[in-house]
């Protein structure tokens, strides 16, 4: 496995955990990406609530490496562990704020901070609505230090015929933002879960 194909995926506790699951599924399908996964405890609950009881084991099975949320000494917390970047999907306002202000109290935000300090791509699918000024300022601050803010907005112009179709497009778009050597992820059916 070559270093440029390593991708870190963080899933925080915001609604929309199915997007993070789909990103991991798509990256795993490339068979050239080494996916390093970190999931917050809140995200574990959201996955069960929004996708179903099978979502968490399915997610862990598709990742190359699963890291504990509290293991701030994991490989992905070091700048010497080279990656192609990181996607946080969904990104809660708590995680966004911690990343923007450098509060590195768990592995998800620590790994995100490493991407920024090493000048690698960090894509944050911030999931909240409506937004108050504090949210917007945190987004601005994260952007100023190098993050890409990519709210998970459906592409209505594609006329998706299901929630699963909208999720798939959002996931593919997030992956594209990393500029991986894999230029196209195979078109596949998504098994989805609750609400798909």
Q: Does residue 184 surpass a pLDDT of 80?
A: no
Position 184 in a domain = no
What are the pLDDT digits (tens) for 82-139? 999 999 999 999 999 999 999 999 999 999 999 999 999 999 999 999 999 999 999 9
Please report the sign of the dihedral spanned by the C-alpha atoms of residue 143, residue 66, residue 12, residue 40: negative
Mean pLDDT in residue range 30-44: 96
Joined tokens for residue 88 = 């946080």
Mean pLDDT in residue range 157-171: 95
State the pLDDT at residue 194. Answer: 44
Position 183 in a domain = no
State the pLDDT at residue 192. Answer: 52
Position 8 in a domain = yes
Position 48 in a domain = yes
pTM of the model: 0.92
Mean pLDDT in residue range 38-66: 97
State the pLDDT at residue 3. Answer: 47
CB 107 within 8 A of CB 70: yes
Contacts of 146 (CB under 8 A, 6+ apart): 116, 119, 122
Q: How far apart are CA 132 and CA 128, in angstroms?
A: 10
Range of the domain at 104: 3-176
Position 195 in a domain = no
Tell me the CATH number at 120: 3.40.50.1950
Q: Does residue 150 surpass a pLDDT of 80?
A: yes
Q: How far apart are CA 44 and CA 46, in angstroms?
A: 6
Position 71 in a domain = yes
Mean residue pLDDT across the chain: 92
| DSSP character at residue 143 | H
Q: Does residue 4 surpass a pLDDT of 80?
A: no
- How many domains does the structure of the chain reveal? 1
């Amino acid at each position: 496995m070559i270093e440029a194909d390593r991708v870190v995926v963080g899933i925080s506790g915001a609604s929309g955990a199915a997007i993070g699951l789909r990103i991991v599924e798509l990256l795993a399908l490339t068979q050239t990406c080494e996916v390093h996964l970190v999931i917050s405890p809140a995200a574990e609950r959201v996955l069960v609530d929004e996708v179903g009881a099978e979502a968490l084991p399915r997610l862990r099975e598709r990742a190359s490496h699963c890291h504990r949320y509290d293991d701030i000494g994991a490989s992905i917390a070091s700048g010497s562990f080279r990656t192609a970047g990181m996607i946080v999907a969904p990104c809660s306002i708590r995680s966004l704020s911690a990343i923007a202000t450098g509060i590195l109290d768990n592995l998800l935000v620590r790994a995100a901070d490493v991407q920024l300090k090493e000048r690698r791509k960090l894509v944050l699918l911030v999931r909240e609505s409506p937004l108050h000024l504090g949210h917007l300022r945190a987004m601005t601050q994260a952007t100023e230090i190098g993050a890409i803010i990519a709210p998970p907005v459906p592409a209505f112009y594609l006329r998706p015929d299901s929630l699963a179709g909208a999720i798939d497009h959002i996931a593919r778009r997030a992956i594209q933002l990393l500029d991986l050597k894999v230029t196209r992820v195979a078109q596949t059916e998504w098994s989805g879960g609750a609400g798909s």
